[in-house]
Amino acid sequence: MKKIVYIFILAGFFMVMNQASFAQCNPESLTENCIPKLADGFNYLKSYKINGANGTKDKIEYSYVFTKGTQYMINLCAMGEQTDGIVVNLFDSNRNKVVSSKIDGQFISAIVYPCNNTGIYYIQYTFDNSTNYCGGSALGFKR
């Protein structure tokens, strides 16, 4: 009987520890850090929270209407200086990928897209060998 109680206590401990690891992601603070990192001349529009729930989500997606003749910048912030395998891909309204932050196997922390067609664009965050699945992002524009 003691072994069964011990197993239940141990299982409960692991469940609590698993829940605690999900709570460690704080995309709000990472998002706030991203806003001032927009390049000179870009005005802040919107921020995005990236929480891959400790690897249980393989992508997070948002949409935004982009306007023709406007340049958009999307940057990434994660724990530390690197983006930790977080990739941002931008898709046009037809779901064609127009730009990515992963280029030739290298990860960059920001992308810039000169919009040629007004419409809904999809901002998709994925994880490529990421270790923490947590980040923040900011969208800016300039004309």
pLDDT in tens, 63-106: 999 999 999 999 999 887 678 799 999 999 999 999 999 999 89
In a domain, 19, yes or no: no
pLDDT in tens, 96-139: 999 999 999 899 999 999 999 999 999 999 999 888 889 999 99
Q: Is the pTM of this model over 0.85?
A: no
In a domain, 39, yes or no: yes
Domain that includes residue 36, residue range:
26-142
Q: How many domains does the chain have?
A: 1
In a domain, 1, yes or no: no
Both structure tokens of 108: 């960059």
CATH code of 101's domain: 2.60.120.380
The residues, ordered by sequence, that sit 6+ positions from 120 with a Cβ below 8 Å of its Cβ are 63, 64, 65, 66, 93
